[in-house]
Amino acid sequence: MGKRSAWGWAVAAMLVLGGCAHQTRNVDPPPDEPYRIGREDVLDVSVWRDPDLSRVVPVRPDGFISLPMVGEVLAAGKTPKELEAEIRERLRAIVQEPKVTVIVHEVNASRVYVTGEVAHPGAFPMRGRVTLLQALALAGGFTDFADKSALMVIRRDGKGVPVNYADLITLDDKERANVWLGPGDTVVVP
């Protein structure tokens, strides 16, 4: 076999084998954005030196909270700082230079959903950042009938991210292979 022929076979083999390579879609963690208050969260609203105006209040399903002397305030979708500013502005009519602090006492609105062939499908609260592997663990793992090669992460905006479970557990760089979930994402295990 001549040098040219051997070289040609080597190039052909590289092309064929290169086509067999598998690349996992890396989904970066969601950016660190300020927390936005959600429905069913519980807030600790404190007015400095005025315990009568301070309250621990739940965010109602319509997104509002009720405070004495302030009334109804839309909380859902705002950051704690934005809500502080709105409450402070409303209190200026009755309190001289009000100092308001809003602390998210309980995070109940941020959930991920896992459905399909898992031991315990359902909604799971997000405590910080959650990966696909962590969500699957919260759901008790796969049933015997799960198609682990066809997982789907459906984002809150409706876009789907297909995932093969084998890629998550076999790649050397687990951090890059894993998929980060955001509030409202749904994991479907067919």
Q: What is the CATH number of the domain that holds 175?
A: 3.10.560.10
The per-residue pLDDT for 140 is: 98
The per-residue pLDDT for 183 is: 86
The per-residue pLDDT for 168 is: 84
Q: What is the CATH number of the domain that holds 85?
A: 3.30.1950.10
pLDDT digits (tens, 9 = 90+) for 32-81: 678 899 988 999 999 999 999 999 999 999 999 999 999 999 999 999 99
Identify whether residues 131 and 117 lie together within a single domain.
yes
Range in 18-22, 25-29, 67-71 with the lowest mean pLDDT: 18-22
Whether residue 22 is contained in a domain is answered as: no
The pair phi, psi for residue 87, each rounded to 5°, is -65, -45
Range of the domain at 158: 109-189
Last residue within a domain, chosen from 106, 121, 153: 106
Identify whether residues 115 and 174 lie together within a single domain.
yes
pLDDT digits (tens, 9 = 90+) for 94-128: 999 999 999 999 888 789 999 999 999 999 988 77
Last residue within a domain, chosen from 106, 135, 155: 106
- CA quadruple 119, 121, 126, 130: dihedral sign: positive
Q: How confident is the model at residue 163 (pLDDT cuts 50, 70, 90)?
A: very high
Identify whether residues 65 and 118 lie together within a single domain.
no
Question: Into how many domains does the chain fold?
Answer: 2
CA-closest candidate to residue 26, choices 177, 173, 155, 168: 177
The per-residue pLDDT for 127 is: 77
- 26: pLDDT strictly greater than 60: no
pTM: 0.60
CA-closest candidate to residue 179, choices 86, 112, 119: 112
Give the Cα separation of 81 and 71 in Å (integer): 18
CA-closest candidate to residue 168, choices 135, 132, 115, 137: 132
Identify whether residues 102 and 113 lie together within a single domain.
no
